[in-house]
Amino acid sequence: MKKIIVLLFTCLFCSFCPLVSADDFDVAAKNAIAFDVNTGKILYEKEATTPVPIGSLTKLLSAYLVYDAIKAEKITMDSQVEISEYALNLTTNYDISNLPLDKGSYSVEELLEASLIANANSATIALAEKIAGSEKKFVDLMKAKLKEWGISDAKIVNSTGLNNSHLGDNIYPNSKKDEENQLSAYDMALISYHLIKDYPQVLNITEKTSFNFDGLEVNSSNYMLKDMPSYRKGVDGLKTGISDQGGLSFIASANERDMRLITVVLNVENAEEDLKALFLATASIMDYIANNFVVTTLAEKGTPYEDSHISIINGSEDQIKVVASNDLNIIQRIGSDSEPKVTFKKNKQEFKAPLAAHTPIGTLSYKDTDLIGKGYLKEEPSITMETKKEVTQGFFLKVWWNNFVEYVNEKL
């Protein structure tokens, strides 16, 4: 009943909202993409596969490698990081984003906050040097991680996203003096997806509107956070970006209508004149998605899907229904009349008792016929179907007879 009421409310709400179709909606950015983290479904895109300068959004990939190093127990959040001459000297370049550093040391946590919230370039370089020994070796790690994720069109020349012209003699070997990192909106979506899925604790940093760095109160440039000028409920990250060659950009994360949204807008129109343009463009995508898409649960955890069942050999029961190990949620366009295409495939043809509770039996898969761009950042939604309870062996004579018949059929 509760789900029916929610569905009715959604329908009533959306009947009063001006729906903007995919053909009519156009975000005020040169490149954009939006997707749901939970399903991986792409919900909007615009020139999303063209590599462009992404500037300081690079720091999301650098942050991922910091968390990787923590997971591998190479460092901890409390590990102290010495500031090199390279990182220290860069703080005197007032044409780039930074926080004042001294020759001492800072914790990984302090520098990570400085990198993600304040866009501090020297803090990012210090982390790169701590993890890999040098920024050059860290860039090699960045490239390897992108290759692991299937990203082959990237150009990565430093850990920060700065134009090489700011780095003097510290540029990556064989890179040009005016080169910048280049990735597509789709690539940035993949990076953000992996960061949120693998290390959701990053949101504990990106949701902060301010933080204290060495006695200095530093404000976030994400105006969509709570108590900020462009506040939108549910937004908890992720990063603003600036590039000499690619203008201003923003990647937002938000909980919106049971979706975990990531929106990417690159080179936003008029953002250099008015920073709020970043957040207006982002809000327009979120509004479009909220008014045009809805989450639907096809199978609830612990319940069967339609007639999903299996036969049991030697069991106390000849046939049992199998149930969903988790909810199978999909995203559909509001008002869509297309029926979901769902298939149940068993892991094998025969199942013999005894079977423990929660034994994997097969997979329930959803085939989406309404794809935007590449459709999904990963495979389409699927879940494991399993036994709900233990299935014991049947009467011993039944088991003996079944085994005898099987032997005869195989040997004679």
Summarize the annotated binding site for substrate as residue ranges: 239
Please state, in angstroms and rounded to a whole number, the distance separating the CA atoms of residues 295 and 367: 15
E-strand ranges in 156-246 read 182-183, 210-213, 216-219, 235-243
User: Are 65 and 141 within 8 A, CB to CB?
Assistant: yes
Instruction: Pull the structure tokens for residue 154.
Output: 């990237």
- Residues 6 or more apart whose CB falls under 8 angstroms from that of 255 comprise 234, 236, 261
CA distances from residue 61 to 98, 143, 161, 235 in whole angstroms, order as listed: 18, 10, 10, 20
Amino acid type, 351: F
User: Are 96 and 162 within 8 A, CB to CB?
Assistant: yes
CA dihedral 44, 50, 55, 57 (to 10 degrees): 40
Please state, in angstroms and rounded to a whole number, the distance separating the CA atoms of residues 36 and 260: 5
Please state, in angstroms and rounded to a whole number, the distance separating the CA atoms of residues 140 and 171: 13
Helices (H) and strands (E) in the chain, counts: 10, 20
Alpha-helical (H) ranges within 149-275 are 185-198, 203-206
Instruction: Pull the structure tokens for residue 144.
Output: 């390897």
Instruction: Pull the structure tokens for residue 196.
Output: 């949120």
**Lateral strand order in the sheet of 360-367:** 323-324, 382-386, 360-367, 341-346
Please state, in angstroms and rounded to a whole number, the distance separating the CA atoms of residues 208 and 226: 9
Question: Strand 323-324 vs strand 382-386: parallel, antiparallel, or unpaired?
Answer: antiparallel
Question: Strand 182-183 vs strand 52-53: parallel, antiparallel, or unpaired?
Answer: antiparallel
Bond before 238 cis per omega within 30 degrees: yes
Q: Is 79 helix (H, G, I), strand (E, B) or coil?
A: coil
Q: Is 150 helix (H, G, I), strand (E, B) or coil?
A: coil
Name the binding residues. Answer: 239
